[in-house]
Chains A and B, each alone.
Chain A
Amino acid sequence: MTAAGRRADDLRLRATQVLRSSSFRLAILYVLLLSVSAAILLGFIYWSTAGFMDQQTNATIAAEIQGLAEQYRQRGLPGLTNVIRERIVRDPGGAGVYLLADKDFKPLIGNLDRWPAGVPDAAGWIRFRLLERGPRHNDDHAARAQVFTLRGDLRLLVGRDVRDLEATRKLILEALTWGLALTAALALLGGWVMSHRVLRRLEAINQTSRDIMEGDLSRRIPLAGSGDDFDQLAAGLNHMLARIETLIAGVRQVSDNIAHDLRTPLTRLRTKLELLRTDLGEGHPAAAAAEDIIADADELLGTFNALLRIARIESGGQRAAFAPLDLVPLVADLAELYEPVAAERGQQLTLDTADAAWVIGDRDLLFQALGNLVDNAVKYTPEGGLIALSVTAAEQAVVIAVADNGPGIPAALHGEVFRRFFRADGSRSTPGSGLGLSLVRAVVELHGAAIALLDNRPGLRVQVQLAPTTAANKEPPTLGLTHP
């Protein structure tokens, strides 16, 4: 990928992060609220302004009508015609519109050349377009008028050109729309900037928590030094982290102490029993008892060791042996190791792997964890069953699956099986410590991997998913015992 491409990708990622952040969503909500309230406010202003202007026009028309009506009452049709003519002559470019027409709407007098099309409403109001022939172009604008029918089926129209009114109304509407758009844009921009800032602070917290989950308990969240609420949150979290670190160090110390203080006497016990058995000699009745006691002691020690081991792995930081490794030969070794046991139980063990699947991890711990899974599959799948091991390697994930067609585990118990001493059959009669899957989970978590129990229809399918690494940064393993 080119550097520019990578930058573009970074930018895309960043934008997605901002868009998905809760602070940005909050900002969007504010933009919406603000826009709606601004729209309501501006709408009200528009409505009252335009309404006022309409009323003014209507009042003017009403006054004209009153004047004309008076003339008509006093002097009849000639008086009315005179007044109309006078008014047109007095103000030729004015806003007044007059037309007197006969019963066939043929104009008699007025400043309209024909009766406008359109049907007046119940109160006699009519809206129409005025066409004004100018020297260079024709101008078309709105007018409003009231129409009356006079005696002898004469028709009178009195109205006003409302061009200015319409223009003002349009101006106000435009100004309001722009104002609204600008408000929304500013709010959006502000929201973006704010959420970006918030996101940066949150990202610092996220990064720290990821580092800590990967086992670096000494990490702390950086403070901005401003003492704001984020700093207070970070300080609180840092206190908590310090406390956790102390507690975990304590757990480690205690388990080391237990290990040291109990293991030596237990070794003594075991050695004494072995000596006792040797001293009694083969065939002595008590030798068999000693043998039993040794077996019991070994079982006890096995559980004790497994518990200590899980505790140590769970406390993290157990990464000295982490190295790049290919899981394909590891799983192949596992299949090869367990194949005879499966065969002895009449089971078929199959292996299906990718060419290579590089991850970073602890070879022995992974082998132990996957071994426990295969061990369970062999143990719980009935005779003649099928056990399938597979490794798939994609760019995103390496997935190891151990699938069987045995009785499976009810979905309700999927969360329980990783608990220490849990037994799916509820009894403690089957052999095993009940710690196998606890150890598996501890190892999986140490590797930052995920484990899923799935229904194999029928049977159980356990999938462990790890982050892949490139074979390019592999190194030869540097440890291990070598005997000739």
Chain B
Amino acid sequence: MNPKSINEFRGESRHEFLDPQVLAKLSMLNVVSRGLVEGSFTGMHKSPHRGSSVEFAQYRKYVPGDDIKNVDWKIYAKTDRFYIKEFEADTNLRCHLVVDCSSSMGFKGKHGSKLDYTKRLAATLAQLLIQQGDAVGLQCFSESVTKDIPARGSPKHLRNIFEIIGSAVPAGKTDIVGVLHDLAEKIRRRAMIIVFSDFFTDIDALLDCFQHMKFRKHDLAIFHLMDPEELTFEFDRSIRFQDMESTFSVVTEPAVIKNDYLKELNHYLDRMLLGCSEFHVDYRFTNLLRPYPEVLTDFLLSRQRK
């Protein structure tokens, strides 16, 4: 990377959701796709196409139309037949960061809102991806996609992404199911899709989305963000719970329903974990209690091993 780009990156670090120290630590790791991806440029990720590379792939018979420069003449000398020598084609990664900006992501506990946490995760990943020469796109959504930045790999593009992330505010209802189905169709080339959301929706419909993504051969990773308060439900007196995405409210004694609440939550998390395993989704349950660098480190390291 040239000095200008580095300065530009440094300039971006003034965003509150970017921590240079974290970036410095994580820059040792690469964001690696678990499957094949289709990129426009040469890169570090495996491509479904054959191309020029140092890594041999296979021999195949020459067919009319093949470029004769690819004919392996040594084999011809030995066997008197024309064979084409093919190599693995490496390409760059097209990664789409899909950020839930619905009102529920504005839930703010002692550890900040889920959207703020998401901004740190998404911005850091975007920077790492650009740093390693991959293309990054950003889709912010609530009921529909509100901000859509196609995947590109230039530092200028990264600045746009940061601006969009920085300006994102929680608003509106969530239709994550519709949005993910649309994205599965819209992103035609195999890509890495990272979704940041609290996924408070019907679990069956959500798992259908994951299946759709798998069918489209995307490498799907999800960061499931939940606040500790949502996990423990520790309240002591009558409370009117106001839905953040509608005018609906429930007045109840938390002590009375706590048991049932936790039962429902556990059931939902069990289904989520099982579904992600079935559809090869990289599921990252993210308790806001954990520092985001730790979450990202786990994510990147697990991908290194793949």
> Do A and B form a real pair?
no
